[in-house]
Amino acid sequence: MNELLIMADPRLMAERAAWLQSLASERRLSAHTLDAYERDTRQFLTFMTGHLAGPTTLKDIEALRPADFRAFLAARRRDDIGARSLGRNLAGLRSLLRHLEKKGLVNAAGAAAIRSPKQPKSLPKPLSDTQAINVVSDEAQLHDEPWIAARDAAVMTLLYGCGLRISEALDLLPGDLRSGATSLRITGKGNKTRLVPLLSVVFDAVEKYRALCPYHLAADQPLFRGARGGKLQQAIIQRTMQKMRSAFGLPETATPHALRHSFATHLLAGGGDLRTIQELLGHASLSTTQVYTGVDSARLLEVYDRAHPRA
């Protein structure tokens, strides 16, 4: 574990080794997480050697102030370390200090007073047009039972064709998709209701499933059913997509929710405006839609140049 590189008091190093062992044996953390925590604490103790101009002792750890932790995080930032890694650095240190505190060796108040670095919002990764169209097609469905294959295709088509959350699709009742309807009323987060256009390809996919489904689809019961007739669970669709990733060489980011991302991103790429996409997705804030679709300043300037009268 590269402990020869760390200038620290032998007792502190012994306690650190005991902490790492407890993470492996008692908490059963993965080897990847253990390696990260070992590296994080090694980097901190190496920093402290320079910060204190000498080997770190338990007494030094006891005397740590918030300013010491901020100095460490600042040094890591100068090495171009991102907020996510800094947050993990701090989590590893806090875990070690809690271990030492439980044994009555230090007080961990200094680390507790430090806020974790603000994490950047991770941008969703949509599928390409070709990948999304393939995923929702009848031919791509992997289940041998025709009605289940049709069901999976209908659910995937609702996610990509209407931008629904998977929970919204699985909460639909048979009466929500009436013959001849051109829109779909969805009750989403916060009990907010929105209307989304119902494309004929979406309606046709649902109708094919209805025609093949062996269960009676009562008006007050879920539209989409599991193999035994109960309400279809999200985990089933997630596992279906997992199999499709393997079968068609799709990236790990290809999830059912990625189809909703794809709906928004492809609309934007086709000239749709953010405000309309916000309404279709049921987002309360336009900034959420902007992050969701991965809009950047170059895209906004392009729209500005094309649309503004003085551009």
Q: How many CB atoms lie within 10 A of CB 225?
A: 20
Give CA–CA dist 39/2, Å, rounded. Answer: 9
Token pair for 137:
């097609």
Give CA–CA dist 16/96, Å, rounded. Answer: 7
Contact 162, 184 (CB under 8 A): yes
Q: Which residues are part of the catalytic machinery?
A: 165, 189, 257, 260, 283, 292
Give CA–CA dist 262/126, Å, rounded. Answer: 4
**In whole angstroms, how large is the CA radius of gyration of the chain?**
27
The helix/strand/coil state of 241 is helix
Give CA–CA dist 58/12, Å, rounded. Answer: 6
Locate all alpha helices (DSSP H) within 53-165, ordered by sequence: 58-62, 66-78, 83-102, 109-112, 129-136, 146-162
Locate all alpha helices (DSSP H) within 139-296, ordered by sequence: 146-162, 166-170, 200-212, 234-248, 256-269, 274-281, 286-292
Q: Residue 195 region, left (φ>0) first, then alpha (ψ -120 to 50), else beta?
A: beta
Give residue 200's identity as a one-letter amino acid code: S
Packing angle between helix 129-136 and helix 146-162, nearest 10 degrees?
A: 140
